[in-house]
Chain A
Amino acid sequence: MALISFNRKTFEKEIGKLDEKMQTRIAMFGNPIEGIDDKGVQIEVFPNRPDLLSYQGFKRAFLGFLGKKTGLKEYKLNPGEKNYHVIIDKSVTNVRPFTACAIVKGLKLDDEKIKEIIDLQEKLHTTLGRKRKKVAIGIYPMEKIKLPITFKALEPDKIKFIPLDSEKEMSGLEILQRHPAGKEYAHLLAGKEKFPVFVDAEEKVLSMPPIINSELTGKITESTKDVFVECSGFDLEILKKTLNILVTTLSDMGAKIYQMELKYGKKEITPDLKPEEMKISVENANKLLGLNLNEKQIKNFLGRMGYNYEKGKVKVPAWRVDILHEVDLIEDIAIAYGFENFVPEIPEISTMGEEDGKEIIKRKISEILQGLGFLELLNYHLTNRDMQFEKMSMPEKEFVSLEESKTDYNILRKDLSHYLLKILSENSDSEYPQKTFEIGRVFEYKNEISEKENFALAVSPGNFTDVKQAIEYLGKMLNIDFDIKETENHPQYFIDGRVGKIIFDGKEIGLIGEIHPKVLRNWKIKMPVSIFEIDLESIFEKLI
């Protein structure tokens, strides 16, 4: 979740008073307010709008929404000057093949602005950049470097520079092993024979993307006026959009944007702020939204969302990454129209409501047991080996385990019985008798994963008769027959001679019996327990 903060004073001076009404406007623009106080306001930016990840970007869009500055915002692009080149060497093809670059001049930086730029850079890294995997961004002070720039890949031990926040020179490998940023992002270069670097005309290393910049050439300060900006990664289109977000933000801070020539074999000029064109039909918009807007209104609403509309065509800002289809434009029309202005309506469509048959039977079973005074339980589908196997004296097999879990619940339950015992063990201070049951999914892994609905019931203090009565009553009420047959082949948690197979329709569907004292001891249960558990699938088949 990306959160950004605005200074209250700046916001109120440049946008408007942050009163209740303004807060609602912000929420209705699509940015939930996460915190607000005298100093500032913090909002959430959804992942589809990385162009809102800075104050400048938000201000540009939000002033339009408020109707103060509508339509596509124009930025002047200055042609590149001498040596405004980036040479892309073929060696990067297998490591990090693309970059999009620009030069921005005339910045007036102070602490707050530097923070805003670094913040935007970091937020773009984590969201659009997928933690630098997809996009890594570098910003360098022009006074420290000499054009043209080369983007190339070198063997790690041939790369030598002083990384940010360090005092001594390190090799590419040393950075990955020792530098904090190196360690954090080392996986992004894992297995690569060569690491990518940006170097200037004097072969000074600017950075080793996507890891770290150089302490000498890759750090902007308050005295920096002109900067070189690069985005590197695997998808040139995304890189260009990211660059557009960055340079327009810097331009909104008062700087001038200069283009660079990228030498990939064929010539490429970035940044390119030419808007994309997309068709929109007034009819489609009205149909999807349930409104009756005319073309002029559509044009007006699109204008408030930062677009230009002309004769069925929309000019989409070059910094928007989320406009894939006409529906994306239609949503923006809806936002400008105001979600609060839509009149909810339920249409007349004659459809028949219907419950799922399994749910009906599950509820019937539950009702029958409630009538006998049983309490229904609901446990987690996740469990762990100790509860499922160790405490139950069961061999660890045929279970489904999770690849990674943040808790010690890391396998899927194979039965409900162990959870019923767990609950009995946790409730020794509740009044007895305790009569409980649960209906729910259980999972097994034989050759493949199977998932089925089970039903288990426990009585404590309880003996064989208690549970046998319950299942026989259930059978009578559902008008089905359960047979109980002796079995020698049963899990260790039952007492030999007091455990039976439950047969339904000629098929074994479960077990019934008294729990063995050693298992009760494992659970620290001091009362006798009897239990049964059956598979409901064949009962569903029969009854539905």
Chain B
Amino acid sequence: MDKQKILDSLSPNEIKILPYLDEGIKNICLKSHLDKTSVLRSLEFLEKKNIVKLIHEKRKVIELGVNGILYRKKGLPERRLLNVLKEKRILIFQEAGKQSSLSDEEFKAAIGVLKKKGMIELKNQRIILSNHEISKKLPEEIFLESFPSDFQNLTKEQKETFNSLHGRKEIVHLKDEKTTEIEITAFGKEIIDSKIKTQVLIEQITPELLKKDSSWKGKKFRRYDLNSKTPEIHGGKRHFVLQAEDYARKVWTEMGFKEMSGNLVESSFWNFDALFTAQDHPVREMQDTFFINSESEIPDKKIVSKVKESHERGVSGSKGWQYSWNEKDARKTVLRTHTTAVSVRTLSQLKKDEIPGKFFAIGKVFRNETLDWKHGFEFNQTEGIVVDKNANFRHLLGYLKQFFKKMGFEKIRFRPSFFPYTEPSVEIDVWHPERKIWFELGGAGIFRPEVVVPLLGENIPVLAWGPGFDRMLMDYYEIKDLRELYKNNITQLRKMKFWRKM
């Protein structure tokens, strides 16, 4: 190691303790006028600079407890009881307690100890002193007075005495103590011998220092150890789910899609009926969907009657569902179960000059579910529609492939699926290269004429998709438990890595 470099890196504290390194930590503290923490920290730095080697050892030491300190001053309870007994030799139980002015607990302990030693007997509620030699010091008293602190070096007798005291309340404790031995390395000796120049090294650069050129000109700046540990800092941050959403929003807009937005509280009409979901479909039961006890507005008659017709008898050559459609069911209010509700609302307001048009939405959807690691009642969904007279199934697959590629999935598979409002319907699987499995990301399709005709007045193909977002998020952030998306653990949020896909 370069001696000069090391010399230039010594801090004032390190220089201070350098002369006393072979005298033990206690003396280093005394002679350098530094507190123990500063000395230990400096020693660690010196060790990194290979000047000393620190040998850490653990040993057991005995310490006094609260009562131990007290008894050393006032005497052990058994001594205080003996003092009372010294004169009368026989005392009534309560009387002895009173005279000795011990607490109940101490009194009981004193009786116990003396009985065990055979120094007293108990008879008819009386305490009788049986041993005449009471002035001789008890081993416990000797132990407390001399108080050997190193547990390993106790004699056999001392150990027994320690155990009996240790069993009592707050007299002695056994503690692990770390000791540090300092060994000066050969390099260290060289450093110490090399007569450190008294030249002052510049520490922190302060505004004071900068005021006068002479305070730094020609002087040395102390070298820093660049690898020493620094405390962590953390800054303000976008929530990680929103970081991913921002990214998806960017992908969609780059592909020429315009953002749609809508309410989370939605009528059954837009959430189900406009999407050709029959009124007796199981998804419309409270088992699956959150209902709110309040009637929703539904749009004007023109659209409502078309939707009704679409369900009952069908439109555009369809047979419909062949049942009697009920306006009351359409007015039931729900928490939207998919962002597709936003898409159909958009279709219903679309002007002719907005076709061809491409639209997207990202948002929350709800399902009446329990809450555990893989279930939840709130989800993130991303939605897209393309309204174009020339749109076809291959275009649908094209948009989806591009989006998922941007989300990091190179290999993608389309499978037949079913939704009441699309035909053909597609399920999107992406290949997970590490786990080597296909995983299902959600549905897509071309809106059925029964959906489109009542809203647009003619059968224009509308490509539509609404894959869930959470599985992609969880995979990216390596989250196993769905609840963690909304846990808001502040420590975890501070540590969470940024969304880095480009």
Residues in A lying within 8 Å of B, measured CB to CB: 27-30, 32, 46-49, 130, 133-134, 235, 237, 279, 287-291, 324-328, 330-331, 334-335, 339-340, 342-347, 349-356, 358-359, 363, 366-367, 369-382, 400-407, 409, 412, 423, 426-427, 429-431, 434-436, 441, 443, 445, 448-449, 451
Please indicate the chain B residues that have their CB under 8 angstroms from the CB of A347 in the complex: 388, 390-391, 395, 398
Contact partner, B494, options A339, A375, A379, Cβ 8 Å: A375
Measured CB to CB, the closest approach of chain A to B336, in angstroms, equals 11
Closest 3 CB pairs of A and B: A353-B253, A290-B392, A30-B416
Q: List 28 A-B contacts (CB under 8 A).
A: A32-B415, A48-B418, A279-B317, A288-B461, A289-B424, A327-B424, A330-B424, A344-B397, A346-B398, A349-B356, A352-B258, A358-B261, A366-B242, A369-B236, A373-B235, A375-B236, A375-B490, A375-B493, A382-B366, A400-B265, A401-B292, A404-B368, A407-B370, A407-B377, A423-B490, A431-B491, A435-B236, A451-B263
Task: Verify B399–A346 contact, CB threshold 8 A.
Answer: yes
Chain B interface residue count, Cβ-Cβ cutoff 8 angstroms:
91
Task: Verify B356–A351 contact, CB threshold 8 A.
Answer: yes
Task: Verify A339–B265 contact, CB threshold 8 A.
Answer: no
Q: Does B66 contact A (CB under 8 A)?
A: no
Task: Verify A326–B317 contact, CB threshold 8 A.
Answer: yes
Give bound CA distance, A272 to B219, whole Å: 106
Using CB atoms, name the residue of chain B closest to A286: B392
Using CB atoms, name the residue of chain A closest to B393: A289
Task: Verify B394–A289 contact, CB threshold 8 A.
Answer: yes
Please indicate the chain A residues that have their CB under 8 angstroms from the CB of B486 in the complex: 378-380
Using CB atoms, name the residue of chain A closest to B320: A324
Please indicate the chain A residues that have their CB under 8 angstroms from the CB of B370 in the complex: 406-407
Task: Verify A370–B236 contact, CB threshold 8 A.
Answer: yes
Residues in B lying within 8 Å of A, measured CB to CB: 235-239, 241-242, 246, 249, 252-261, 263-265, 280, 282, 286, 290-294, 314, 316-323, 333, 335, 356-358, 364, 366, 368-371, 377-378, 386, 388, 390-395, 397-402, 413-418, 423-427, 440, 446, 448-450, 461, 485-486, 488-491, 493-494
Give bound CA distance, A412 to B368, whole Å: 13
Measured CB to CB, the closest approach of chain A to B404, in angstroms, equals 11
Measured CB to CB, the closest approach of chain A to B398, in angstroms, equals 4
Please indicate the chain A residues that have their CB under 8 angstroms from the CB of B264 in the complex: 381, 441, 451
Give bound CA distance, A47 to B286, whole Å: 19
Task: Verify B449–A403 contact, CB threshold 8 A.
Answer: no
Give bound CA distance, A2 to B418, whole Å: 13
Task: Verify B259–A354 contact, CB threshold 8 A.
Answer: yes
Please indicate the chain A residues that have their CB under 8 angstroms from the CB of B280 in the complex: 130, 133-134
Question: Known: A46-B417, A377-B239. Is A353-B317 also a contact (CB below 8 A)?
Answer: no
Contact partner, A427, options B242, B335, B413, B491, Cβ 8 Å: B491
Please indicate the chain B residues that have their CB under 8 angstroms from the CB of A354 in the complex: 253, 258-259
Using CB atoms, name the residue of chain A closest to B375: A406
Task: Verify B490–A436 contact, CB threshold 8 A.
Answer: yes
Question: Known: A46-B418, A351-B256, A352-B258. Is A288-B446 also a contact (CB below 8 A)?
Answer: yes
Please indicate the chain A residues that have their CB under 8 angstroms from the CB of B378 in the complex: 380-382
Q: A355-B253, A405-B290, A407-B371 are in contact. List 17 more A-B contacts (CB 8 A).
A: A28-B416, A30-B416, A46-B418, A130-B282, A324-B320, A328-B423, A339-B414, A342-B414, A346-B395, A353-B256, A373-B235, A375-B237, A376-B237, A378-B488, A400-B265, A400-B292, A427-B489
Task: Verify A449–B294 contact, CB threshold 8 A.
Answer: yes
Question: Known: A288-B446, A324-B319, A427-B490. Is A355-B249 also a contact (CB below 8 A)?
Answer: yes
Measured CB to CB, the closest approach of chain A to B429, in angstroms, equals 9
Please indicate the chain A residues that have their CB under 8 angstroms from the CB of B236 in the complex: 369-376, 435
Please indicate the chain A residues that have their CB under 8 angstroms from the CB of B294 in the complex: 400, 445, 448-449
Question: Known: A288-B446, A435-B236, A449-B265. Is A335-B259 also a contact (CB below 8 A)?
Answer: no
Please indicate the chain B residues that have their CB under 8 angstroms from the CB of A28 in the complex: 415-416
Please indicate the chain A residues that have their CB under 8 angstroms from the CB of B368 in the complex: 404-406
Contact partner, B415, options A30, A279, A366, A401, Cβ 8 Å: A30
Task: Verify A359–B449 contact, CB threshold 8 A.
Answer: no
Task: Verify B449–A379 contact, CB threshold 8 A.
Answer: no
